[in-house]
A and B are shown apart, each in its own frame.
Chain A
């Protein structure tokens, strides 16, 4: 290679695998028996591209399988090499921090691919409609043909999202970060609007695109202000100038503030979250799950990079502390209250994902308060990343159950979940586990992450209360306001239990609208079961410790920077 040395190539093997897979999906389905005649001779040379396609390459299921294979291989290479460190060119640097996020993104994409295989199914034996066919048969055949046609499109875009996200986690330059975010975002806008024949899908995609691009534009404006201020957008350069600056330059402060708008949209923080519920409910469940997990994690990488990596002062309060603290409380409360009043499972999950963004922002705010020790900072960061990681299990798991429901029709009414316990005990049980874990009920993984978060915030702030005061009220008066962030999380979790249990209970209480079992989507069922099992196992056994070890390693790498 001209651009990369061997060492650099080794560092980004997982990304290269994705790239190869991407090219493979573009090329392989086009392989056929086309031949070209050498001029003036009778020799026909096979050129492979075009013509009548071979049997394996014409299989419409091929793109899905290729994507899954690519992602799984990339995941394993990323996992095996998760401690590798080094720079790639000027704008990318690989370390265990970026690799942890790579694993989170890839895991979410794998789940998305598995469920897409059943949600946007490819059928091998579809014949074009005949004149003798009935009207409904014709429309079904045409639907199937359309689904077959767009297999390649969908999976290319899925891999683009993965590529953008994983490069974004490695970026050590603000411009690179933004380009990669845009690569992932633009691809995800297309994914949201992928079912363009349904009105909801088109509307959701449009809305998401408009709000998202405005947010991006604002962010880019903020970035240009930062460039004006510093003339260098590498993280190291920015951090050095920030530390050296005497007070905060308004230009820089406004720049960072505007960038927070862009990232706030990505994580779904209020008041930038308004498009999220529409996008989630309009998109198909595999895509909605992606938005709720990988896309949110992407926003948090950017937030952590900017807020903790660059603008966190060595001592004292960060200038964004009050803003982020307020936003976090508003986000979690708004999300939970809105979820309480919603009747659409996908909207409920969307608002719950807004609320979860609030919990994690509260963690960031506690770090920025200036009273958190190094240990507390580390603990909170571990909690945030662990939460993002386990969200892939139980948030995406819930979306997987919804996509199983979507294989037979719809999943946007609570009624669609009625009686699932009778029809599909195992799936309903898994969904129940996911809901309890989202609510943070012990001993599930969702409890562990939320608990670590609260623990970090309390550890950071509890010493500020005067121990001598006898009454609780008196003590609460003296304690640092950061402590109240922990209380806000606790109260919001209590509030959220109601709507999570509502989903959980209608599955067992209400009579189903139909008694038929759902489609036997084996791989999807397996994925759901594995997610549910891992949600339990991570919460109660030492496997959770192993994951936390990996993450705490990553956080040490990051804080060390």
Chain B
């Protein structure tokens, strides 16, 4: 049976509680629907908060004072005793964390209670909050699983709560958006599955007893195998299949179109989790599987990565300038930032990869803040149009403050978390590609342009010094400021964005050490093969 090691507990608790809360009320008489909603919400929130405390405790206890340079690749912390799940095809329950997954685990544990807090009064609360709890289990599962089968199962499992979050609690066009979201990501993960299966068939025998097939899904053992796939062409093909799966999730430019639709229609909590953690699954999986196991293919395809990253970065930012819908603009800015992650990986510099890792984390703090702001804007002003409204600062000072902070963080203001990541990536990019760095650097100016102009039009500018223009959707009512729970959620996110902007080394040192080790152990051989001087 599966043991009681901390990461297993962390992953399975929300799943069990979430499914229990979903199913148990169905069996009760439906008289007390109202009280069930409240009980269900409170239990979910309590569990999420408890898990966050637990995750923080785990991080502080196990990860402080570790010299990451001493830890070789393939060593994980907080691992469990591998237990066999399905011996006939070699599936085991193996979990572990390292500097790549730890910030993501902590981020997930942080964002779940915050997203619940922001949508404290969601309709059908007896379904909403348990679904988010299931989402937490699935997301944590993706980040802790070290068995590809389990990884894939959790990867797919994240789709289901998100699909229902969009479908049931989404905006007017939710059917189209949820369908598109489902089809894009599902198709992409099936493509990825084919890649995983080819890898599976290439693993050495000697798998666990009772295996019928003689292969296994164990990621650590795969990494330890000399050459996982003998044929070079097949290796490249598998790498590309994996890339399709991960790039769609990130999303990178040619396959990004599901993201704006999903974001615009999703409820606030859904958007926060989608932008905050789900997009990072793509980058995480790419580093964990594709880059780690096929470094040579990665080096071969660096130009492709640069093109994809650059296209996402520039195109995302360019399209942002034309958006009038707040959520759509933020969604495209996510595409743009995810492009930076690809560029960071493509540099093949420790600094670049560390920057990409920190970008994953920083974007995971700032974009949920942006979506929480957009959700609050929608909630209190009943519109998402940027131009329809001026002078928020007058009507809703708290909302305006959070909006400012979020946008400043997203455009990379120094002393906010996003800045550290951007600078690290740009420096590494310059070190590898020289003056090509001008293009991403100029894009940052575009980013500043669209954020500043939106800011000008929404928060400040006002024809009438005292009233501003109110959107028609309010029907003449006075807008209200954010509620206490929205305020709390946004405040925590904003504070953390500032904290990690001023003291980035909390995670950044760990990340850069890990990246150094990562490149040393995995890429040196590949680079030598390719004739590049590391």
Instruction: Mark A residues whose CB is within 8 Å of B.
Output: 379, 382, 425-426, 441-443, 448, 451-452, 454-455, 458-459, 462, 467, 469-475, 490, 494, 497, 501, 505, 508-509, 540-542, 544-545, 548-549, 552
Contacts and interface: CB of A to CB of B under 8 A. Distances in A.
A549 B211 CA distance: 11
B89 A455 contact: yes
A451 B89 contact: yes
A505 B179 contact: yes
A207 to B, nearest CB: 37
Listed from nearest, the 8 A-B pairs whose CB atoms lie closest are A471-B233, A472-B233, A443-B153, A455-B213, A548-B88, A472-B234, A545-B87, A472-B237
B231 A448 contact: no
Contacts of B210: 545, 549
Nearest to A382: B212
Given A442-B156, A442-B193, A462-B201, A542 B213 contact: no
Given A442-B149, A544-B88, 9 more contacts: A425-B26, A426-B23, A442-B156, A455-B213, A467-B231, A501-B186, A509-B175, A548-B212, A552-B212
B126 to A, nearest CB: 12
Interface in B202-255: 210, 212-215, 230-234, 237
A426 B26 contact: yes
24 contacts: A425-B26, A426-B23, A442-B153, A443-B149, A443-B153, A448-B86, A448-B89, A451-B197, A452-B212, A458-B201, A467-B230, A469-B233, A470-B233, A473-B233, A475-B233, A494-B190, A501-B186, A509-B167, A540-B153, A542-B86, A542-B87, A544-B86, A548-B212, A549-B210
A451 B217 CA distance: 13
Contacts of B230: 467
B85 interface: yes
Contacts of A552: 212
B152 interface: yes
Nearest to A490: B194
Nearest to B212: A379
Contacts of A474: 233
B56 interface: no
A494 B234 CA distance: 21
A465 B23 CA distance: 50
Nearest to A541: B85
Contacts of B190: 494, 497
B26 A540 contact: no
A441 B156 contact: yes
A459 B214 contact: yes
Contacts of B26: 425-426
A542 B175 CA distance: 37
A377 to B, nearest CB: 12
Interface in B173-202: 175, 179, 182, 186, 190, 193-194, 197, 201
A540 B237 contact: no
Contact of A452 (B167, B193, B213, B231): B213
Contacts of A448: 86, 88-89
A505 B190 CA distance: 18
A497 B188 CA distance: 13
Interface of B: 23, 26, 84-89, 149, 152-153, 156, 167, 175, 179, 182, 186, 190, 193-194, 197, 201, 210, 212-215, 230-234, 237
A458 B212 CA distance: 13
B296 to A, nearest CB: 13
Residue among A379, A426, A455, A541 with the highest chain B CB neighbour number at 10 A:
A455
Contacts of B232: 470
B130 to A, nearest CB: 13
Nearest to B183: A501
B201 A509 contact: no
Contacts of A490: 194
A167 B218 CA distance: 44
A548 B85 CA distance: 13
A508 B212 contact: no
A540 B86 contact: yes
B151 to A, nearest CB: 11
A246 B162 CA distance: 64
A452 B89 contact: yes
B231 A472 contact: yes
B179 A545 contact: no
Contacts of B201: 455, 458, 462
Contacts of B87: 542, 545
B216 to A, nearest CB: 12
Contacts of B215: 455
A470 B88 contact: no
A459 B213 contact: yes
Residue among B23, B85, B193, B212 with the highest chain A CB neighbour number at 10 A:
B212
A382 B88 CA distance: 11
Contacts of B149: 442-443
A529 B167 CA distance: 24
A452 B215 CA distance: 11
B492 to A, nearest CB: 34
Given A442-B193, A467-B230, A509-B179, A545 B88 contact: yes
Contacts of B186: 497, 501
Contacts of B85: 540-542
Contacts of B156: 441-442
B231 A470 contact: yes
Nearest to B27: A426
B420 to A, nearest CB: 38
Nearest to A444: B153
Contacts of A467: 230-231
B40 to A, nearest CB: 15
Nearest to B237: A472
A452 to B, nearest CB: 7
A467 B89 CA distance: 24
Contacts of A425: 26
A44 B167 CA distance: 73
Contacts of B194: 490
Nearest to B214: A459
A495 to B, nearest CB: 11
Contacts of A462: 201
A475 B88 contact: no
Nearest to B231: A475
A473 B231 CA distance: 11
Contacts of B152: 442
B231 A541 contact: no
A552 B153 CA distance: 26
Contacts of B193: 442
A548 to B, nearest CB: 5
Nearest to B174: A509
Nearest to B201: A458
Nearest to A466: B231
A509 B153 CA distance: 24
Contacts of B167: 508-509
B86 A541 contact: yes
Nearest to B234: A472
A542 B179 contact: no
A509 B183 CA distance: 14
Nearest to A544: B86
B231 to A, nearest CB: 6
A473 B232 CA distance: 12
Contacts of B233: 469-475
A292 B216 CA distance: 33
Residue among B84, B179, B231 with the highest chain A CB neighbour number at 10 A:
B231
Contacts of A458: 201
Nearest to A379: B212
A350 to B, nearest CB: 25
Residue among A425, A490, A545 with the highest chain B CB neighbour number at 10 A:
A545
A458 B156 CA distance: 25
Nearest to A539: B86
Contacts of A451: 89, 197
Contacts of A471: 231, 233
